[in-house]
């Protein structure tokens, strides 16, 4: 009796496990087959690989916060990690994609991938200055070309939205039909030799895959750490042409210093917290700002910062805070991992916003939860 009970219970557990496996398999299969950069893994593909099976785990917020904001922004974008493309660009990539939006393909698909543009500490892959970029194509489209760009030394990926002027062409292959790519489970892959000398530390690798089946262009950001030792090729030498280190077709390197508005320090509020706002970068039609929140002389468990924009500025994206706007008033609240601050301790959050020619610095109010 008890034996029968036990075994039927075991069967039940097995069935649950089988269903769970089926579900996670169904979830793991992208809705449509295209591709992305597998190594150094792209933002979207990496976040899907690391968290696709566990995307609601709050640990992600602390362990991999850029992926967390991406999953929070649009879960569909993550399931469709391979669908970050535009159609009909006719090779005019720079005309199609505004600065600050390179990693989302110019907010393609109604901005579905906009979280890829967020600036911050995306997980990096260590690479040598010479490495092979691996592109994974689930649909066997082949390529008219793949172009690989690296940010110039001096670009600060932690503070600066990616612009065309930051990029230098560091590798490319020409027309390669899928029949010349290496067979993979569920697709094909190809490697692009990359030569990006004189770089150390964190950089962004920006890849354009011009697929061959139609005018479909993919725009993909990968985060790397140069100087992290050598990355041996994962495979036999490529059948692709050698890299042409031709100069980039982008405008001259205008790594202009960020135009920084003078910081405004809110008066240390009623013992609880204070907030400082500064514009860290501006471009035509928009800007990036950073807000530093500092606890007063006692620890706090949460904070809220409010301000009013006087010139029609509109926040489009935020990281390390939750933001709501009501008319011109903006309210930013801590997220789970940065609400608790010791006495005198600070945290920062960032935002992207649109603006006209006038962009006055607002006055901030900080309220703390003790
Ligand atoms: Cu496709």
Instruction: Report pTM.
Output: 0.57
Cα 91 to averaged position of ligand 1 atoms, centre (Å): 17
What's the gap in Å between 194 CA and the centre of ligand 1?
A: 24
pLDDT (mean) for 268-280 = 73
CA of 124 to the centre of ligand 1 (A): 26
In the reported structure, the alpha carbon of residue 269 is separated from the centroid of ligand 1 by a whole-number distance in angstroms of 54
Q: How far is the CA of 109 from the centre of ligand 1 (A)?
A: 14
pLDDT, one tens digit per residue, over 322-360 is 888 888 999 999 988 788 888 878 888 888 788 888 898
Whole-number Å distance between alpha carbons of 227 and 199: 8
> Looking at the predicted structure, is the pLDDT value of residue 253 above 70?
no
CA 354 to chain centre: 19
Evaluate whether 41 touches 222 at the Cβ level (below 8 Å): yes
Over residues 111-133, mean pLDDT: 97
At 93 the three-state DSSP class reads helix
If one compares 257 and 279, the residue with the highest pLDDT of the two is 279
192 CA distance to ligand 1 centroid (A)? 19
Give CA–CA dist 343/122, Å, rounded: 28
C-alpha 65/C-alpha 58 separation (Å) is: 10
Looking at residue 233, what is its pLDDT? 40
**What is the Cα–Cα distance from 316 to 173, expressed in whole angstroms?**
35
Q: What is the distance in A from the centroid of ligand 1 to the CA of 233?
A: 26
**Cα 106 to middle of ligand 1, angstroms:** 18
Q: What is the mean pLDDT of the chain?
A: 82
Residue 255 scores a pLDDT above 60: no
Q: What is the pLDDT of residues 18-70, one digit of tens each?
A: 444 444 433 444 345 799 999 999 999 999 999 999 999 999 999 999 999 99
Nearest to 187 by CA among 121, 123, 240, 142: 142
Is the per-residue pLDDT at 113 higher than 50? yes
Q: Cα(53) to centroid of ligand 1, in Å?
A: 23
**Distance from the CA of 20 to the center of ligand 1, in angstroms?**
29
Q: What are 193's two structure tokens?
A: 């030799």
151-204: per-residue pLDDT in tens? Answer: 999 999 999 999 999 999 999 999 999 999 999 988 999 999 999 999 999 999
Q: pLDDT band at residue 241, thresholds of 50, 70 and 90?
A: very low
Between the CA of 190 and the centroid of ligand 1 the distance, in Å, is 15
Q: Look at residue 271 in the predicted model and tell me its pLDDT.
A: 54
CA distances from 324 to 79, 318, 327, 330, 340 (A): 26, 10, 10, 6, 20
């Amino acid at each position: 009796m008890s034996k029968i009970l036990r075994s039927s219970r075991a069967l039940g557990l097995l069935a649950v496990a089988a269903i769970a496996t089926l579900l996670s398999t169904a979830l793991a299969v992208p809705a449509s087959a295209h591709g992305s950069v597998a190594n150094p893994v792209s933002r979207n593909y990496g976040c899907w690989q690391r968290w696709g099976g566990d995307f609601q785990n709050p640990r992600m917020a602390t362990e991999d916060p850029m992926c967390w904001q991406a999953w929070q922004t649009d879960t569909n974008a993550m399931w469709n990690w391979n669908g970050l493309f535009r159609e009909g660009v006719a090779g005019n990539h720079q005309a199609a994609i505004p600065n600050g939006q390179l990693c989302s393909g110019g907010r393609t698909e109604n901005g579905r991938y906009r979280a890829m543009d967020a600036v911050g500490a995306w997980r990096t892959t260590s690479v040598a200055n010479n490495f092979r970029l691996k592109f994974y194509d689930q649909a066997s489209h082949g390529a008219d070309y793949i172009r690989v760009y690296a940010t110039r030394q001096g670009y600060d990926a932690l503070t600066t939205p990616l612009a065309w002027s930051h990029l230098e062409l560091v590798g490319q292959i020409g027309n390669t039909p899928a029949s010349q790519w290496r067979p993979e489970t569920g697709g094909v892959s190809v490697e692009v030799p990359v030569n990006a000398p004189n770089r150390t530390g964190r950089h962004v690798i920006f890849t354009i895959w011009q697929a061959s089946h139609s005018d479909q262009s993919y725009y993909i950001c990968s985060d790397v750490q140069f100087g992290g030792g050598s990355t041996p090729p994962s495979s036999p030498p490529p059948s692709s042409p050698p890299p042409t280190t031709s100069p980039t077709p982008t405008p001259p390197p205008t790594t202009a210093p960020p135009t920084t508005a003078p910081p405004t320090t809110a008066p240390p509020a009623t013992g609880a917290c204070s907030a400082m706002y500064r514009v860290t970068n501006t471009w035509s039609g928009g800007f990036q700002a950073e807000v530093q929140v500092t606890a007063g002389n006692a620890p706090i468990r949460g904070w809220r910062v409010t301000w009013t924009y006087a010139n029609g500025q509109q926040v489009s994206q935020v990281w390390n805070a939750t933001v709501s706007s009501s008319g011109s008033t903006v309210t930013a609240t801590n997220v789970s991992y940065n609400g608790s601050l010791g006495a005198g301790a600070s945290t920062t959050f960032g935002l992207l916003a649109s603006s006209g020619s006038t962009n006055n610095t607002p006055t901030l109010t900080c309220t703390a939860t003790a």
